[in-house]
Structure 1
Amino acid sequence: MRPRTEAGIPAEDALPGGVQYSVKLDGFRTVAFALGGRTVLQTRSGRDIAAEFPGLATTLTQALPAGLVLDGEICAWADGKFAFTELLRPDAQRRAAGIVVAYVAFDCLAVPGSDIRDLPLADRWKLLRTALRDLAPQVQTVLATTDRAVALDWYETLVPHGVEGLVCKGLGSAYRPGARPGWIKVRHAETVDARLVGVIGSERRPDSVLVEFDDATRAQTSPRLDPVTAGRIAAAVAGLLGPEVRDEDGSPLRPVREGPLVEVRVRTGRQATVRFVRIRDDDAV
């Protein structure tokens, strides 16, 4: 299931069966299939990324019973906060830097021998908590509550730790792939999709990108891209670059033909900025 975006945190009785409020993390949304002997980590685009997180996949294989299916996110923890860009680094680099990677589950889709997607979330949540009780720190249940006041406190205080907002779900709702009515997300700063139409700076390590919105307006992202993100962008646009021109500041600009969709965070006001978030590959929530 994918949540729809709302501006405010709903009341405790706003969704069927009452509301469960959970923190919204910034990671790779994956369904974990425990197959007995190995674990598949399937993204929304259908890729199995277990090989990109071998340590985590091994932990899940050892910890989970065959037949358990979870919905959750692969998250990285660095410098006291969740750090999405660390997920983009090779596994060897993450381990050398001491980056902690964990699977944070927020739903249970199957237990050994039974598909439980038709059960209400309240029942699935109990089964999830039971299944993940006393497991390794790399396998956790998401922080969740049914108390709106507690959720509001999390929403206001956990931003420095990389928590983007809240996901609010109806406790009486069944799990319906692709459906939106029963889940709501509330973010501090909403992101939008745009088309990547140019890279500014080195084509191998761009400083920023030029994006085009649905209304045909264009904007340059800021601040400067970090090395990991710059490398990922360079790989995504390889072979799509047009001849070099100069932008308004005289920096080298390479137009991108049929560039990928990207996710950006737009802040308005006197300090208006367009911040690059990620390439939109449907693997992140």
Structure 2
Amino acid sequence: MDLPVTPPVQPMLAKAVTAVPAQPDGEPEWSYEPKWDGFRAIVFRDGDDVEIVSRGGKDLARYFPEIVEAARTELPDKAVVDGEVCVPREIGGVQRLDWDSLSQRIHPAASRIAKLAEETPAAFIGFDALALGDRDLTGEPFSVRRAALLEAIPVGSPGARLLISRVTHDAQQAQDWFTAFEGAGLDGVVAKRLAGAYVPGKREMLKIKHKRTADCVVLGYRVHKSGTGLGSMLLGLYGDDGEVRMVGGSSAFSDTRRVELQQQFEQLRLGPDQVAPGEVNRWRSSATGEWIPIRRELVAEVAYDQMENQRFRHTVKFLRWRPDRDPESCTYDQLEVPLTYDVYDVLEGT
């Protein structure tokens, strides 16, 4: 591709915070937009050549042929735009983002992909521009990149598959969006500095989500105490040293789902007899804690309440699989870390 910005490019990331940042007095500092719930992707177009590159560097083009065709007809001849691949569907009489339909689009069979492209077509929601024509925009402030995005993706074109996210400079409106847009299947609000450059792979944006979640690599599982089905899936996160650490587990599954998960995980076992020693359980001395390791290929999104000593304090809730995420991207820096106080700062008279 003959573009000023060529793949692969790591997308600029967001750091989790607990509230919408306020605007300072005078000129606005922040641009706010909805947080879309889909597959993060950067679309590169150079004439008929189109690549849709995931956050992990994989080309998603084969899974979304309708987006490839839309890029050829709706984008300028040379353009690089950042955004989210989503599947909007009518649910309960309104259009909502449908994660299940989106995740089913990652399929090895070309015939299945073609069928789903017709039945559950995807849309690309653009929210940043990295290049337009011969211009590399990554060093420009977001205000300039936003103008280029509006130039690259015309607003209001009937039947368009490439769309643009709304933005506002009003912090109160962003807070209203945080509540109102949840009904459309959106995931919260993102804040970007108007003067900020596009920094690949860095958490330069802020995100305010409806729930505290983490993407974890599945390290293995324990068999249910009944001897049939999965008892719990064990989860890990990668540290700054590149080593993975076990951070907890998820175990709230129906009997039917336990059997399905055990069958799925059995295919990923490292060896038929390989078992890993578990940690000592101070509450149940009879429990060995042994578990079965599997290949580190699956990423699960889970809901959690607190972190303590680099682990989840309580059992977490499995939310969904993330086929768009690479296991190595499951790192600690994605987590929302609350402010740390000395316990005596919370006591009266100290």
Structure 1 residue 261: Cα displacement = 5.8
2:292 to 235, 255, 272: 255
CA deviation vs aligned residue, 1:152-172 (integer Å, no higher than 9, x gap): 111012212211111100011
TM-score after normalising by structure 2: 0.65
Matches within 5 A, 1:74-223: 74-78=85-89, 79=91, 80-89=95-104, 90=107, 91-95=113-117, 98-133=119-154, 134-135=156-157, 136-181=159-204, 183-196=205-218, 197-198=220-221, 210-213=233-236, 216=246, 218-222=248-252
Cα distance between partner residues in 2 of 1:4 and 1:142: 19
Query: Which residue does the alignment assign to 2:83?
Result: 72
Q: Secondary structure at the match of 2:183?
A: helix
Change (3 A) 1:162 1:17: same
CA deviation vs aligned residue, 1:208-246 (integer Å, no higher than 9, x gap): 86123567464334456999xx79x9489535464699x
Identity across matched positions, percent: 23
Q: Secondary structure at the match of 1:69?
A: strand
1:276 to 319, 323, 330: 319
Structure 1 residue 62: Cα displacement = 1.4
Structure 1 residues not aligned, in runs of 5+:
246-252
Q: Secondary structure at the match of 1:124?
A: helix
Structure 2 residues not aligned, in runs of 5+:
1-11, 108-112, 238-244, 276-289, 307-313, 335-350
The answer to whether the Cα contact below 8 Å between 2:216 and 2:302 also exists between their aligned partners in 1 is no
Structure 1 residue 116: Cα displacement = 1.3
The answer to whether the Cα contact below 8 Å between 2:217 and 2:298 also exists between their aligned partners in 1 is yes
Q: Secondary structure at the match of 2:78?
A: coil
The answer to whether the Cα contact below 8 Å between 1:31 and 1:43 also exists between their aligned partners in 2 is yes
Change (3 A) 1:92 1:3: same
CA deviation vs aligned residue, 1:31-87 (integer Å, no higher than 9, x gap): 111111131101122211111111111111111122111011111112232122322
The answer to whether the Cα contact below 8 Å between 2:22 and 2:171 also exists between their aligned partners in 1 is yes
* Bigger-Rg structure (1/2): 2
- Answer 1 or 2: higher relative contact order, Cα 8 Å, separation at least 6: 1
The answer to whether the Cα contact below 8 Å between 1:108 and 1:128 also exists between their aligned partners in 2 is yes
Query: Which residue does the alignment assign to 1:23?
Result: 34
The answer to whether the Cα contact below 8 Å between 1:120 and 1:174 also exists between their aligned partners in 2 is yes
Change (3 A) 1:276 1:111: same
Change (3 A) 1:109 1:236: farther
Structure 1 residue 115: Cα displacement = 0.8
Q: Secondary structure at the match of 1:123?
A: helix
Change (3 A) 1:210 1:149: same
TM-score after normalising by structure 1: 0.79
The answer to whether the Cα contact below 8 Å between 1:17 and 1:173 also exists between their aligned partners in 2 is no
Structure 1 residue 180: Cα displacement = 2.1
Cα distance between partner residues in 1 of 2:251 and 2:70: 38
Tell me how many residue pairs correspond in the alignment: 268
